Structure 1
Amino acid sequence: MTATHASAESLFTAGRSHSSWLPKPVSEAQLRALYELAQWAPTSMNCQPMRLRWVVTAPSKQRLIDCLYEGNKAKSEHAPVVVIVGQDLDFPATLPRLFPHKTDAQAYYSGKPDLVASTALRNSSLQGAYLIMAARALGLDCGPMSGFDMQAVDAAFWSGTTVRTNFLCNIGYADHAQVKPRGPRLPFDEACTIV
């Protein structure tokens, strides 16, 4: 079985992480369409802890760039959009609405900050991966990033909330002429074990 379908190619085998961007804007309508797809990511007990800050204005972009490690500043400066993928540590409060058939779902997390933190991180990461796939499906390019001061980003963009930053992702139309050769991947027999 091979991934030969055009959508599988655009999502996986031809999809790349980009650092250079064309000066072509991404509209609010596109961001809304992107979320409309990404919202369908599976999460445990439908907890949906991902929260997004779409950084598009010049002042907001500068606040974010000030929080980035040096090697990432230019990547984000020229991207039309940088999305801060956050994780809401108060996600249990939404469970009565999002997972109503399990009436004790919210209580499952009560007094368990480690469980809340690990659930928020795991599931917002899963949702963030879907966000990247949704962007590619809509013809956008992505450049997901670590390499930032998390406390500084939290203070600049999530102050006064229960949301903490997971990762950042540049979104736009990549300058494909600047892309580096794809790095190797681990083969099945090195990365996988069938038990």
Structure 2
Amino acid sequence: MSISTSLPRVGAEARAALFTDARTTYAFADTPVDDATLTGIWELARWAPTAANLQPLRVLYVRTPEGKERLLPHLDEGNRPKSASAPVVAVLAVDNRFHEHIPRILPIRPQMKEYFEGDSAQRDSITSFNGPLQAGYFILAVRAFGLAAGPMGGFDAAGIDKEFFPDNDWHAVLVVNIGHPAGAPEFDRLPRLEHEHVIDWV
């Protein structure tokens, strides 16, 4: 008897929510996002693949007025109104001590903990590739929960690290505003490159 190895395929509605209809949001409605949703975003995003399952991404949710007061000065001036209007701002960071979790998350090769402990360049290689990869998964997870995401560069990473992560080895790599959009997008969606400009065949 043959066993099917076909994977499930999400429907058009899910593809639209994640990709074709989703838009970067710049202004947010004053609608709160609850803790269960924020936890659920990570519970979903954490299952996507990383090299050797090493998972270096960490998430700081900034949602209180006091937290915003600490965060906004470290953002570029043009980005501050966006984050001020968002009910939640996620600071995505990479943990340079990710290898301490290896015996639990990679039990088939626990010795890799010592390998990475002795090679900071290899740790940097893991975080520089897998951190942004996981950040992309995180944005899709936000969209999967029916929320809009506004990922931003334009911030003082060293300043955020000093303000929020002085006692560990987390380093900020992306800021993502999260919430429900305040009205329609400000402008029409910009075009994307068609397949003939991107795909080659061998």
1:66 aligned residue: 73
2:103 aligned residue: 96
Greater displacement, 172-181 / 32-41: 172-181
Write the deviation string for residues 142-180 of structure 1: whole angstroms up to 9, x where unpaired: 000101011111111111211101101000001242432
2:23 is aligned with 1:12: no
Within 5 Å, give how 1:5-154 maps onto structure 2: 5-154=12-161
- Deviation, structure 1 residue 4: 6.5
- Deviation, structure 1 residue 125: 1.4
Which residue identity does 2:61 align to in structure 1?
A: W
State the aligned residue count.
193
1:156 aligned residue: 163
Uncovered stretches (5+) of structure 1, i.e. residues with no partner: none
Which residue identity does 2:107 align to in structure 1?
A: P
2:191 aligned residue: 184
TM-score (norm 1): 0.93
SS of the equivalent of 1:183 reads: coil
Which residue identity does 1:187 align to in structure 2?
A: E
Structure exhibiting the larger radius of gyration computed from Cα positions: 2
Uncovered stretches (5+) of structure 2, i.e. residues with no partner: 1-9
Which residue identity does 1:184 align to in structure 2?
A: P
> What is the distance in 1 between the residues matched to 2:61 and 2:156?
18
TM-score (norm 2): 0.90
Write the deviation string for residues 51-110 of structure 1: whole angstroms up to 9, x where unpaired: 110000101111111000011000000000000001000111111111001132223324
Which residue identity does 2:111 align to in structure 1?
A: D
> What is the distance in 1 between the residues matched to 2:168 and 2:186?
37
Greater displacement, 49-58 / 36-45: 36-45
> What is the distance in 2 between the residues matched to 1:190 and 1:136?
27
1:194 aligned residue: 201
Provide the aligned C-alpha RMSD in A: 1.5
